[in-house]
Structure formats: C-alpha cells, structure tokens
C-alpha cells in the first residue's frame, strides 16, 4: 500500500540519455555478469539493509539470492528463505481465490456484495446496494486512494468493524466513476470468501494456494511474523536516520496486506502464474481463474516511462496492467511499515521478477524490475536506480527544509490564540470515532490520543494562532500542521492530517467536551 504516490511521481520522470552511471555494468550481460554489482551498490546508496531478488525465465530460476542483512547493525545475512512482509502483493492472492471460486461455480464476480454480506453498506446507499464483488477487487467504489486507511491501518478495529466503518466514508468520487485504491474493499472481498466457504480467509488461502504450491514458509497473518527466526526486520527513516521499527499488525486488513513470504516461496507463486495455473502437469489453479485477474477493469492513469514512451496503466483484479516495449506487464507493489516489495510478470516472455526490501524508504525495488526488464527486452541501459535516487533525495531535502522551518517556528515560542487548556478535551469524527487532547509532558505541551490506536500519540507544539506542529509517535503517520477552529472564543474542532502514504484525505474532528 505505502509509497504508491512516491512511486507514481518517480515513474513519470523522463530520461533521454542512457549510460550516465554505467561504470562496471555490462548491459549485454547484465543479468549474468553485473546484477550483483548493481544491487550491492544500490543497497549502499539507498541505505537499504537487506533485499532478496528472484528472476524466473522460461520455467527456470535464473537468479534467487539474498543481499545485505536482515537487521541494521547485525551480521545476519538475508538468504533465499528470509521472510519479508509483502503488503499489497497479498491482493493478487485474494483476487485469485475469488476467481478460483468463480471457476468452481460457487460465486460470480458480478454478484452483489450484499448477497454474501447483507449488512454491507456505503454512504451512497445506491452504490452500497449495487456494489459487485468485481468492484471490490478493482478499486472503483468511488473512494479516493487510501481513503479510510488512517482509521484502519494498524488499528485495534476488527475486520467486521472495518467493514462497518466503510459506510461512514464520504466517497470523493461518484460510484464507479474513478479508480481509487481501497484496502478495505479487499478486506470485504476476503470476508466473502469466508461466507462462501465457511472458512476464514487465511485458512482458505493456506489450503488452496500455499499448500498446493509448496509455499510452506509463507504466513497469511502478520501476528505470526514476529515469532519466525528467519525474518527481515522493518526499517524506516526518521529525521534522516535509518532505524528499526515495530512490525505492523495488519490482520484486520488481512486480505489486502498481511502475507509474509520469501523469494523461495514466491517463486512458486510466480511460476504457477506464468504457467497459467499449472505446476508441472497438474492444474492447481484453473486457467480461467488466472486469466480473469488479468482482464482490465479500470483506468488508473497515464505512465511516462524513462525511455520516453507513455502507456495507460490499467487495473485488473489484484494486479496493475500496462504495456511496455511491446509487452503486456502484469505487476503489483506492496508497501507496509518498514518494507516495500514488487512482483512482476511478463507472460509473453515467460518472465517473472520478485524484489523484496526491508525499508519503506526506497524506490530501488521498483527501479530494479525495470532494469531487469530492459535487459531482457534488449533496451538501452538507463540506470534507473540512480535516476530514482536523485529525485528521491531532492524530494527528501525539500521535505526536510519544510520541516526545519516549522521546527524553527516552534523554537520562537509563539503563543496560541487561547491558553493550552482550552484545546484539551474530547473530540469526535464520524468515521474515526473519538480522540482526546491532554496537556502534560516535559514542556506541558499537548498530546493527542486516538481511540483506535491506543499505542500511538501525537505531540502538538504551538506555531502561533490556531496552528500546531504535530509529530506522531509512530513515524509512519508522519508530521503535519493541525489547524483548530474557533467560535465565540471557544475551540470547536481540529483538522487532523496523517502522512499521505497512510491517507490523503484529512479528518475533521469536532470538540464534544
């Protein structure tokens, strides 16, 4: 899920020149001779502790290897069996499970959601009544990308509560009018699997996909990840420092984001995808189920590639689709707290690419897949990693400069419009629920605490007037400026905004006491 906005902005770059940084890289033998040099250099330049990469070509493993370390500062090397959280690459498993059930005549993708979940509702009643399973799997409920995710992401809400909360989301777009990435929709699709099979989503996925493919180390739920021995730690950047962070607990959104796997196990998933559902002579997944996930359903937008060409990116069911260099590309990314990953299929070339990394602050996972595809497509060498890194560093420098100005303003000890005690109290948002503001701490500053994120708080420091500089205790939720509203000399509410990579849409909380 995370990093989608950053990825789209970097991909839209245009690079007209080729071998700028091509030292020690042999384009003609990139995969055979140069890829280790490329990856190891990139891990250093991007400050990525560890990665795992797999390339499959014509039913053969061309490369399967771990690079770097599982945890910063420790000499525990990543290997082929090291587990990473794969985030939204989970969605393809959920979509495939539903297309498998359709192939078995147990449901239809064009069935209404309410056929299986009668309590399902959206704020737009007509949309909720007419939403189909297909709509859940291709992000066209009318929500803005990530809308609602602040409420759900790493929260204490159950799956049932998340689905109920969807009725409180005020959709930004008309129903089916525009694509908007919606994690809760995939959770709802997973609940349909439960209603049809009378088994939990995780049990169905394990028995019908993981087990037949021999994915013995893959975990369906994040709650089991911390107990594993061979796992990569989660890392992020905080004020320019690379740090380890706690593992995300995402099982309330499991069908959208919870799978943890290795390149060894994912190679089996990619192999069956490239073989249209077959493992050797066995048809493990119906070919029609595989094909259904790759049928275009919605338009995401234009993508300008670094070679200067433009293609239209589409969405199937759990996969992004686009044409590049005359080939249809089927792919998805996965980003959760501390990890970004990618899975890419080029069916007409029988090519599969898996890239797993253990920091959520890199675009190398995306750059490498295009480098590998260009090598196989005999395209000019472009050193995507350096191009992406330059833009990434420029964006980071701009964000740091913006943040410094805010911290400098805090240092001026500017007074708010009212005494700090006037801001304390209980606040309510129809979607999220309750939030409280308390006064205390070393500097007697304000702290904001959230009903559904009991382990997280936000630290508020005055910027003068009705604005406060806010730092979340969980760095994934970012930093922001929160403006308060007033009426007759009393605080009436506050606009809460988390990092865009969690949710773009702001939340207006009203003061209730």
> Where do the domains of the chain lie?
4-108+176-396, 412-511
**pLDDT category of residue 28 using cuts at 50, 70 and 90:** low
Q: What is the mean pLDDT of the chain?
A: 93
Q: Do residues 191 and 163 lie in contact, with contact meaning Cβ atoms separated by under 8 Å?
A: yes
Nearest Cα residue to 65 out of 375, 335, 368: 368
- Please write the tens of the pLDDT for every residue from 277-304: 999 999 999 999 999 999 999 999 999 8
Residue 60 has pLDDT above 70, yes or no: yes
* pLDDT recorded at residue 48: 98
Which DSSP category does 83 fall into? B
What pLDDT is attached to residue 23?
44
What would the mean pLDDT of 143-168 be, rounded to a whole number? 98
Give the pLDDT score at 361: 96
| 4-108+176-396 CATH choice from 3.40.1440.10, 1.10.10.10, 3.40.50.40, 3.40.710.10 | 3.40.710.10
Cα–Cα dist 317/367, whole Å: 24
pTM above 0.75, yes or no: yes
Q: Which two tokens stand for residue 467?
A: 């604005």
pLDDT in tens, 237-246: 999 999 999 9
Q: What is the DSSP letter of 174?
A: -
pLDDT digits (tens, 9 = 90+) for 75-128: 999 999 999 999 999 999 999 999 999 999 999 999 999 999 999 999 999 999
Q: In angstroms, how far is CA 77 from the centroid of its own chain?
A: 25
**Model pLDDT, residue 14:** 35
The token pair that represents 243 in the structure block: 């740090």
Confidence of residue 229 (pLDDT cuts 50, 70, 90): very high
Q: Give dist(CA 265, CA 263) in Å, integer.
A: 6
Supply φ then ψ for residue 327, to 5 degrees. -125, 145
Separation of alpha carbons 510 and 447, rounded Å: 17
- As given in the structure block, the two tokens for residue 125 are 């009643």
Return phi, psi of residue 379, to 5°: -90, 160
CA angle 270/271/275 to nearest 5° reads: 115
The per-residue pLDDT for range 260-270, each reduced to its tens digit, is: 999 999 999 99
pLDDT band at 308 (very low <50, low <70, confident <90, very high): confident
Is the Cα torsion angle 388, 390, 396, 399 positive or negative in sign?
negative
Return the CATH fold of 412-511.
Lipocalin (2.40.128)
Determine the Cα–Cα distance for residues 85 and 337; give it in Å rounded to an integer.
Answer: 9
Q: Which of 512, 360, 500 is nearest to 451 (CA)?
A: 512
Contact 266, 54 (CB under 8 A): yes
Confidence (pLDDT) at 16: 32
What integer pLDDT is reported at residue 33 of this predicted model?
87
């Amino acid at each position: 899920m995370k990093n989608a906005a950053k990825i789209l902005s970097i991909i839209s770059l245009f690079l007209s020149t080729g071998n700028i940084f091509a030292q020690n890289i042999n384009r003609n033998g990139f995969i055979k001779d140069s890829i280790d040099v490329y990856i190891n250099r990139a891990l250093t330049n991007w400050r990525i502790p560890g990665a795992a990469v797999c390339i499959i070509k014509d039913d053969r493993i061309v490369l399967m290897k771990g690079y770097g370390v599982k945890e910063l500062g420790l000499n525990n090397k990543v290997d082929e069996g090291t587990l990473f959280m794969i985030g939204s690459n989970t969605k393809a498993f959920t979509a495939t499970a539903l297309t498998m059930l359709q192939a078995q005549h147990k449901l239809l993708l064009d069935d209404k959601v309410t056929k299986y979940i009668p309590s399902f509702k959206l704020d737009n009643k007509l949309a909720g009544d007419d939403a189909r399973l297909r709509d859940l799997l291709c992000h066209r409920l009318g929500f803005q990308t990530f809308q609602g995710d602040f409420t759900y992401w790493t929260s204490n809400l159950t799956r049932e509560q998340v689905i109920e909360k969807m009725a409180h989301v005020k959709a930004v777009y008309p129903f089916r009018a525009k694509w908007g990435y919606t994690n809760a929709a995939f959770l709802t699709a997973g609940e349909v699997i439960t209603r049809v099979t009378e088994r939990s989503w995780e049990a169905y996925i394990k028995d019908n996909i993981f087990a037949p493919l021999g994915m013995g180390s893959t975990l369906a739920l994040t709650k089991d990840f911390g107990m594993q021995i061979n796992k990569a730690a989660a890392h992020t950047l905080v004020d320019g420092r690379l740090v380890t962070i706690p593992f995300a607990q995402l099982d309330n959104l499991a069908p959208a984001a919870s799978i943890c796997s290795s390149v060894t196990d994912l190679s089996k998933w990619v192999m069956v995808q490239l073989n249209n559902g077959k493992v050797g002579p066995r048809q493990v997944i119906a070919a029609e189920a595989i094909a259904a996930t790759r049928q275009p359903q919605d338009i995401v937008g234009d993508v300008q590639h670094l070679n200067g060409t433009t293609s239209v990116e589409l969405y199937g069911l759990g996969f992004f689709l686009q044409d590049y260099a005359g080939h249809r590309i089927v792919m998805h990314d996965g980003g959760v707290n501390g990890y970004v990953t990618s899975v890419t299929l080029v069916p007409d070339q029988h090519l599969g690419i898996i890239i797993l990394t253990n920091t959520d602050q890199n675009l190398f996972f995306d750059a490498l897949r295009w480098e590998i595809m260009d090598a196989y497509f005999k395209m000019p060498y472009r050193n995507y990693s350096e191009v992406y890194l330059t833009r990434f560093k420029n964006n980071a420098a701009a964000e740091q400069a913006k943040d410094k100005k805010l911290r400098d303003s805090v240092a001026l000890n500017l007074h708010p419009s009212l005494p700090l005690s006037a801001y304390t109290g209980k606040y309510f948002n129809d979607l999220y629920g309750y939030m409280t503001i308390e006064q205390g701490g070393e500097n007697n500053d304000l702290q904001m605490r959230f009903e559904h994120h009991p382990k997280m708080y936000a630290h508020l420091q005055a910027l003068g007037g009705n604005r406060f500089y806010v730092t979340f205790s969980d760095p994934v939720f970012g930093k922001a400026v929160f403006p308060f509203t007033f009426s007759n000399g009393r605080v009436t509410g506050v606009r809460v905004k988390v990092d865009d990579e969690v949710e773009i849409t702001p939340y207006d909380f009203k003061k209730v006491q």
